[in-house]
Each structure stands twice: as structure tokens, then as C-alpha cells.
Chain A
Amino acid sequence: MATKQAPTRQAITLKGSTAIVTDFFKFAVNTILYQRGVYPADDFHLVKKYGQTVMLTQDLAVQNYLDKILQQVQKWLLTGGVTQLVLAIIAKDSRSTLERWVFDIHLQTSTEETETPAPSKPESQIQAEIRDILKQIVSTVTFLPTMDEPTVFNILAYTSESADVPADEWVDTDPLAIEASKSQQVKLRSFSTDVHRVEAMVAYRYDG
């Protein structure tokens, strides 16, 4: 990212912000899949990103799957059609949701117009915030319950009614919620570009 930054750029555009947010999702999802053992550890390899090493899956099928999802998410981000992304980790056998990683996406364009244009956030600071979130995801392993059973994941997108939905690719679904009585929630850090603000949260099943 740092190499792309043009010296002339003052404020981040919607397109640039969308790229940052999409990129963040890619790495966040990969980190979660790795840390929570959804895929075996040797499916992942190390890449440098955001000034730290991040695990990325090298399983082509998973890569393609995530790419397809993220492409659509990017489209939705550009139109502002998506309000929330959820990565649900589900027990393979019982199909019960064990963890829900929730990323709230807020558009903050309106505030930008009304107020005097705030000094745009330097990309390094955005990256630092993203790095903090990823580190926090890694650190959640310390308190999240261990998952002994095999798990699968699912990505849900909360979109506005008006958003364009590719009919045969995305389908309305169950929110894969965890029963409120058995759910614990931990709010994670957030990051913001000039256009988007992403707030992260993890809810996990915890039976007393």
C-alpha cells in the first residue's frame, strides 16, 4: 500500500478507501481462519503486510472463494450498499455457530461534506489502526474457547434493501446468530479511512 501512495494525494477517495477496506477484510478473514484453526496451519503462508507478517491461505480454492466474495463486497462498498460483514465459524457436524466476527461498516461521507474538511488521515495511521485490529484478532485466541471439533466458516453480508445483489450468487440467509443466553461479546478496535469506518466485534458461544 505504501508504494501506491502518490505524494500529491491529499484526501482519500471513495475508491481508495474501498480498496483499503476490502484489503483489510481479506487479511482479517485470513487471520481469523488461521488463528481459529478453520483450515490447517500448513494451508497458510506468511506474507508481509501492514508492516507485519500476516498469514494468507495458499489453498487456491479458498483463495478463489474469498476473492469472489471480496469482489462483490468491494462493489457494495462503492455504492454504500453493505452495512455489516459477518464471518461466522460454524461447527461442521452440529451446524451451531461458535463464533461470529462482526465488522460494522459506516460511511462517513456526510460528515465530511458538512464540516470543514478535516486534515485527511495519513495512510500510515490507517495502516497502524488496521495492524492493531489484526493483532487484536490474534490475541483473542487467548480468551476464546478452544474449538475441538472441525469447523467451517461462512461470510454474511448485511446489505441495504436497495443494494444490487447478483441473484444467483448471493442468497438471503439466516443470520447464524448465537443464542443470546450463550453468547459473549467482545468489542475490538476500529479503524477508519476518511470515507469508511470499520468497527470490529467478536461474539462467541460460551456455555457457562
Chain B
Amino acid sequence: MPSSENPQKTPSRRSRNEAKTPLTPSLTHALNNLSISAIPSPGRARRSKSASKSNLADITNPFIADPSRPSKPNGFSKSLSSGTGYSLSKSLSGNRSRPGSPTKRTLSGNGTPVMTEEMQREASGGLIKKGKGLASQFDVVKNDYVPPAKTEMKRSKSQPAVKRDRMYPREPDTVAIDQSDRFITNRAEQDLAATLELMHLNPKSSSPGHTSRLAEAANLPVNKRVLAFHEAPPASSSDPLLAKQREIVKPLYARPGALTTSSGGTTGGKARKIASQPERVLDAPGIVDDFYLNLIDWSAQNVVAVALDKSTYAWRADTGSVSHVGDVSEEASHVASVAFSEDGAFLAIGTGTGSVELWDVETSQRKRKMDGHQAQIASMAWNGHVLSSGCGDGSIWHHDVRIRNHKVMELLGHVGEVCGLKWRSDGQMLASGGNDNVVNVWDGRVADSVMTGGEVESCSNAKWTKRNHTAAVKALAWCPWQPSLLASGGGTNDATIHVWNTTTGARLHSLKTPAQITSLHFAPHKKEILSTHGYPTNAVMVHAYPSLERVAEIRDAHESRVLFSCVSPAGDVVLTGAGDENLKFWRIWEVPKAEKKKGVSQGSMDGGVRDGILAIR
């Protein structure tokens, strides 16, 4: 801008000198001005020229002497320059150089320039410098036009605020702006205080010193202090034992669904009604109330085996008749697990002292006794002729029941009692869960003992080892319709169902349940998982898969914790056993008709499983 000021000085001064000269020279000088001050478009110049006739001139560049001036009647401009220029020249005597900056408001409506107080003040104070040119405005810029506010806005855009401030001393707003920087938002102090208050909510500025520093930097009287008492509040000093007990019980109550009623399941559209009463109840006097044991099993021949302390009984579901399979040998303290072979002809009984017995169910004869384990056999699983047994010392043995040296392999992957053991239906993988909160998935291939020359192969590398559970893992279930899926459920402190992809080892889903999980089953014909629970809900729950939404829940299915469960070979009824010495049959699912036929035709491995026997009588 200074560059545009400079060229004007001379012409504008000259213009005063030539105020009395004839029109032509004056006009040329004005045109000079035009060219020098480089008005962007010639059209604009033209307009201002033509506008001069109607007194609408000079909405353009303030630095340009108005080209219309000379076209005014000479007498008028003369009278102005002589009348006002006199008094001004006195006050501005020292100020020789000035640009032709028109400050038209100083001229009153009738054409007489008004010397305002402010002007006088500034003039006498020597404030008027080369940018101001009060004198010039009286001889170059005349009286005729009071520019609209719009013009001023335009100008203010074209030059810095500070400059404008000097150019237009009369404008009240420029006076207000005087001390401030236009790049800093001008706020009242109250506003800033409010901003600071808002900043309290900003975590980034919430450090104790920051706000005060900020307030100090902004020179603000923030008349607030945030104070806290110097000591921290004392921790609860109540009985530590009580506190610990409370801590132990807390998860039972904190779990989702722990306090809702059995009927009040808000599960959305997935909920399904199932009979909340058992279809049938059997008495099981003396059944051992122990979480780690597996005391019931349901065979493919529709026979239920139940171990009551030392004795084992077979209950035929098709006839309802009960037979005593037999008692374990004298030295064995109790039966810790029972497992039917896949065809249902043999029953394996694991004892509390570490021996595994094989019984023929039909004849109630003990066929074989396999010793070797040093502790209780709490879990067993069959895969063809291989019986796997999980021991209290954490070892899992594969027994080949056909050969004399029955122990063909040893799996060492647990440091706690193995309480959950399940073969995948195709026999390729074995899942084991232990009291050490670990879930192991083993490769199912068993070396042939004949090939290894009687040497027992020992394996301690599980295919997958999962340590997500925080309590003993008894509940394990392989998915019948998606072989890679394995579900595992933890005990009291965990109460979580995890669903694994055993091919990739990924954890696919997790579900927190209200209580200890004692067993899990995938529904054979439906995309659902059934889980049984201990204290406090003692429930049988059905969850949809994969959403894991609750489909149904039978709250307080037993009076005590539900410990054992098995699914009928038809896949519709679930048998549960509990510490209250009852066995209860629940009709959870329905067998689809097509599926049923298919199942029969497929299940003819032992000469055709009868349609009729797959029902409870």
C-alpha cells in the first residue's frame, strides 16, 4: 500500500496548486492519477468518471484523487479550498506531504467540511502523518458525497486494520480496535473465564498446574481454586475375612442375569419356550456330589448308566427297566466316571483309585480291569477301540482295549486333575480340560503299540493350549454340525463359555454366564448350545449359536447344583444329574422328521439301531 500512496503525493499536492486552473490540465492530472494508482479495470475508471456527474463518485480506491474533481464547477471547489483550507493550513502547517485520501465524512451534507474535535486533537498532537492527509482531503476530495458504509468495508478489506485505523480516524469502531490485534479474537474477560471453566472438562488441560498457569498467562482473575483434602480417604477397615468372602461371592451376583427371574429372560426374538418341568424324574440315591466327576452317560443303545457311589446301574430308556451293572472292586473307593463305548455295548468305569474297568452292559459282567493310574479317573472318552482316561494327576492315557498292554499313549499337558475329556466324533482330536484352568486340544492319532514295539509314546505337546479360563474346565463339547468348533466352560470363578475354532486355534465367541458351568452340549439338530450350571442359578440354559443369545433357561432345574448331563442319542432329551440325588429328563429340542430318518439310516453301525428304542418309555 505505501507504494500506492507515494505516487499520489505529488499529484495531489499539485492538484491543490492547480485548483484554480482550467478544467483541462486538472483532468489530465486526474487521469495521471488513475494510471499511476493502477486501478484494476478500466471500466471502473470509466464508471467513476461518469459517476462524477451524478455525484456518486469515489467508491473506489481511497488513494486515488477523485478524477471527477476537476469537472466540478470551479467556483465551488475554490470556495471550499479557500474557505476551509485556510484554517487547516494553519493547523497542518508542518505537514507538507499527504496523499489524496478522501475522508468524506468530514464534510457535512451541505458541502462545508466540519472540523471535528477529534481531527483537531489529532492534528495538534501531530498524529496526522503521511497516510492521513487531512489537508489534501479538503482540497482534493470534496464535499459532495458521503460514502455508504459499504465503501468503507471494501476499503478495510484492502488494507490492514492498523492502516485503516489511521486512515479513518473518525470511525468509532477503529477507535475501539485501536489496541487489539485483529488475529486474536477479542473476548470479554468473562468469556475467557467461561472458556477456562469449560476447559476443566477437557482431560488434556486437567493437570493441576495447567489451569492455573493458563489463567496466569491469560492474566485472568480466575477466582476459583480446586482443593482436595491432603489425605486420601481411608480404605474400608471392616473385617478382612468378611471382605474377602464378599469378594468371593461378588461375582455370583455381579454376573449378568444373576438376579432376573427364570421366566424373565429379555432375550428378544430368539427366546423359545421349553417345558420348565422335567419329563421324568429318577431317584439316584447316594450319587456323589462332586463337581469333578462324570457319573452319568447315555449310550447309543438308549441305555443310561448311573454311578451311585460304588455301584453302577443301567436304566433302559425304551423299557424303563433298571439293571445293576455291578460294583467296582473292593479296593476302589468309588466310581468317579462312567463312559459308554460308541456302540453302547461296553461301559467303562473309572474308579477313585485309578483303575479303569470294562463292563458288558447286557450281561453285567466285568470284562477287563486296566490298572496303572495312580489317582482318581474323573473323566473318560471313547474313540473306537481306544479309551482315553483323564487322571487326577493330570495325565491322560490312551488305552487300547483290545490288547494286553493297554496303555498305548500318554498325554501330559495338565498339572491339575483332568475333569473334562471329549473326543471329536471323527476321532481326529481330543479335547481335555483340567482343574488347572487349561483347555488342551490333542492330535487324535495314536501310535500303534505294535509298531512301536510295546514302547509307550509320551506326548506333552498339545495341539492347542488355551488358558483363558480362570477356573476348572469340566464342560467341553464338540460341535456335531461344524467339526472344528469346540465349546468349553469354566467353573465358579470363571463361568464363561468360550467357543474355539480348533483348526485355527482362534477363540470365536465368549459368553459370561451367571454361574459355574458344569457341562456343555451342542444341540445335534439345532444351532444351539446347552449349558448346565451350579450355584446360584442351578439352571439349564440354552443359548443360540453363534449369537450366544439366551434362548431358554430353566432356573433351579435342581435343588442343588446341576453337575452332570448327557443328551439322548435321538438328540431331543437331556438328562441332568445333581447333588439333590435326582436325575431329570428335560425335553429341550425336537427331532426334525427328516433328520430322524437320516439318523437311523446312518446309525446302522450295529445292525440297525431301532427306531423304537430311541425314545423314553
Q: Is the CB of A171 within 8 A of B230?
A: yes
Q: A69 CA to B231 CA in the complex, in Å?
A: 10
User: Digit string of A132-176 for contact with B (CB within 8 Å is 1, else 0)?
Assistant: 000000000000001010001111111111110100111111111
B246 contacts chain A at the CB level, 8 A cutoff: yes
Residues of B near A168 (CB, < 8 A) are: 230
User: Digit string of B220-241 for contact with A (CB within 8 Å is 1, else 0)?
Assistant: 0111111111111111111000
Selected from B208, B221, B229, B231, the residue in CB contact (under 8 A) with A174 is B208
Give the shortest distance, in Å, between B248 (CB) and chain A (any CB). 13
Selected from B227, B233, B254, the residue in CB contact (under 8 A) with A173 is B227
Residues of A near B208 (CB, < 8 A) are: 172-174
Q: Is the CB of B229 within 8 A of A169?
A: yes
Give the shortest distance, in Å, between A175 (CB) and chain B (any CB). 5
Q: Is the CB of A157 within 8 A of B203?
A: no
Selected from B223, B230, B234, the residue in CB contact (under 8 A) with A160 is B223
Q: Is the CB of B238 within 8 A of A43?
A: yes
Q: A39 CA to B238 CA in the complex, in Å?
A: 9
Q: Is the CB of A161 within 8 A of B224?
A: yes
Q: A160 CA to B221 CA in the complex, in Å?
A: 10
Known: A40-B246, A42-B238, A152-B233. A165 touches B225 (CB 8 A): yes
Known: A159-B225, A177-B206. A43 touches B230 (CB 8 A): no
Residues of A near B236 (CB, < 8 A) are: 39-40, 43, 59, 62
B71 contacts chain A at the CB level, 8 A cutoff: no
Q: A146 CA to B250 CA in the complex, in Å?
A: 13
Nearest opposing residue in chain B for A63, CB measure: B234
Instruction: Name the residue in B222, B228, B238 with the highest tally of chain A Cβ atoms < 10 Å from its Cβ.
Output: B228
Give the shortest distance, in Å, between B19 (CB) and chain A (any CB). 65
Q: Is the CB of A171 within 8 A of B233?
A: no
| Chain B stretch 187-238: residues in CB contact (< 8 A) with chain A | 200-203, 206-208, 211-212, 221-238
Residues of A near B176 (CB, < 8 A) are: none
Residues of B near A156 (CB, < 8 A) are: 226-228
A83 contacts chain B at the CB level, 8 A cutoff: yes
Q: Is the CB of A62 within 8 A of B202?
A: no
Q: A178 CA to B208 CA in the complex, in Å?
A: 15
Main secondary structure, interface of B, reads loop
Q: A175 CA to B207 CA in the complex, in Å?
A: 8
Selected from A160, A173, A176, the residue in CB contact (under 8 A) with B224 is A160
Nearest opposing residue in chain A for B251, CB measure: A148
Nearest opposing residue in chain A for B209, CB measure: A172
Q: Is the CB of A158 within 8 A of B225?
A: yes
| Chain A stretch 52-90: residues in CB contact (< 8 A) with chain B | 59-62, 65, 68-69, 72, 83
Residues of A near B230 (CB, < 8 A) are: 168-171
A35 contacts chain B at the CB level, 8 A cutoff: no
Nearest opposing residue in chain B for A203, CB measure: B201
Residues of B near A69 (CB, < 8 A) are: 229
Nearest opposing residue in chain A for B215, CB measure: A161
Residues of B near A176 (CB, < 8 A) are: 206
Q: A161 CA to B242 CA in the complex, in Å?
A: 45
Residues of A near B243 (CB, < 8 A) are: 40
Known: A174-B207, A177-B203. A62 touches B225 (CB 8 A): no
A-B CB contact pairs (8 Å), 15 listed:
A39-B236, A60-B237, A62-B236, A146-B254, A152-B233, A154-B233, A156-B227, A156-B228, A158-B224, A158-B226, A159-B224, A161-B224, A171-B228, A173-B226, A173-B227
Since A155-B229, A158-B225, A175-B200 are in contact, a sample of 18 more A-B pairs with Cβ atoms closer than 8 Å, ordered by chain A residue number, is: A60-B237, A69-B229, A146-B254, A148-B254, A156-B226, A156-B227, A158-B226, A160-B224, A162-B223, A165-B227, A169-B230, A170-B227, A172-B208, A172-B226, A173-B208, A173-B227, A175-B211, A180-B201
Contacts from B to A (Cβ < 8 Å):
200-203, 206-208, 211-212, 221-238, 242-243, 246, 254
Nearest 3 CB-CB pairs, A to B? A61-B234, A173-B228, A170-B227
